[in-house]
Amino acid sequence: MVPSLIHSSSFRLIGPLVLCALLLAPGIGVGESCADEPAPLVKVLVVYHSVFGNTERMAEAVVDGVKTVSGAEALLKRVGKVTADDLFSADAVVVGSPVYWSNMSGEVKTFFDNWQFKFGVFPEWKMKNKIGAAFATGGQLSSGKEVTMLTILAAMLGNQMIVVSGGGAFGASATTEGDSLGIDNKEMADAKALGQRVAEVAVRFKTGSAK
């Protein structure tokens, strides 16, 4: 019976359900459910540059926030490891940088430059309508974190992305006091909130939900 079903033209339509029923039948099945996990609706790419580990910790918190949203998955990568497929297959991109002289680090700037020079986003506007967000870490209270996030968001806007904030007015940020890994619980919570909001917006945008 099973072979005839497999070779039947109707199996293309009902085959997966029939096969599951057969596998789960007493004496035939393997004793495991064959219900597939639903595929994630959106992929959020979280990228960062980090030397002392501060920005990396924030990035991990952003990923934790993404994971709280049903239908969203996160991919965490350092800026230098991102591939064209990572970038173009993502529905949202969150970029984090330490503050270097009141701006994004050179590594993060190179990452954005590579959007064109390495990945060729223009003239097809391959990042258009993807969700974008930013986060930053800096050693002092007023060290340029907001400027750093705004320069990241400006690069995204230049690619016709849809930018959102979360955890703060322009994104999530943390004051780290050098290499002491001094990020407090509120700052980690802000980073998690940013990841959650990005994922929520990406899911709503992709599904057309106005909730």
pLDDT digits (tens, 9 = 90+) for 140-163: 877 899 999 999 999 999 999 999
Q: Are 110 and 72 in contact (CB under 8 A)?
A: no
**Helix (H/G/I), strand (E/B), else coil: 43:** strand
Q: Is the model's pLDDT at 46 over the cut of 70?
A: yes
Q: Are 136 and 97 in contact (CB under 8 A)?
A: yes
User: Average of pLDDT values for 160-180?
Assistant: 88
Amino acid at 195: G
Amino acid at 7: H
Per-residue model confidence as pLDDT tens digits over 79-136: 999 999 999 999 999 999 999 999 999 999 999 999 999 999 999 999 999 999 999 9
Q: pTM to 2 decimals?
A: 0.80
Quick one: pLDDT at residue 141? 77
| Phi, psi (rounded to 5 degrees) for 2 | -60, -45
**Helix (H/G/I), strand (E/B), else coil: 184:** coil
Cα separations in angstroms, 147 against 50, 75, 154: 18, 26, 10
Q: Are 90 and 75 in contact (CB under 8 A)?
A: yes
Question: What does 64-100 look like in DSSP terms, one character per residue?
Answer: HHHHTSTTEEEEEEEGGG--HHHHHH-SEEEEEEE-S
- Other CB atoms within a 10 A radius of the CB of residue 4 amount to 8
Q: Which residue has the higher pLDDT, 1 or 165?
A: 165
Which positions ≥6 away from 13 have C-beta within 8 Å? none
Q: Are 144 and 167 in contact (CB under 8 A)?
A: no
Quick one: pLDDT at residue 140? 80
Quick one: pLDDT at residue 8? 36
Q: What is the mean pLDDT of the chain?
A: 84
Domain ranges of the chain: 1-36, 42-207
Q: Is the model's pLDDT at 54 over the cut of 90?
A: yes
Q: Is the model's pLDDT at 181 over the cut of 70?
A: no
Which positions ≥6 away from 21 have C-beta within 8 Å? none
Looking at domain 42-207, its CATH superfamily turns out to be: Flavodoxin domain (3.40.50.360)
- Taking CB atoms within 8 Å and a gap of at least 24, the contacts of 119-124 are 119/84, 119/87, 119/88, 120/84, 121/87, 121/159
pLDDT level of residue 192 (50, 70, 90 thresholds): very high
Of 29-38, 42-51, 56-65, the least confident = 29-38
Q: Is the model's pLDDT at 40 over the cut of 80?
A: no
Give the integer Cα–Cα distance in Å for 36 and 67.
Answer: 19
Per-residue model confidence as pLDDT tens digits over 6-17: 333 333 333 433
Share of the chain above pLDDT 90, in %: 71
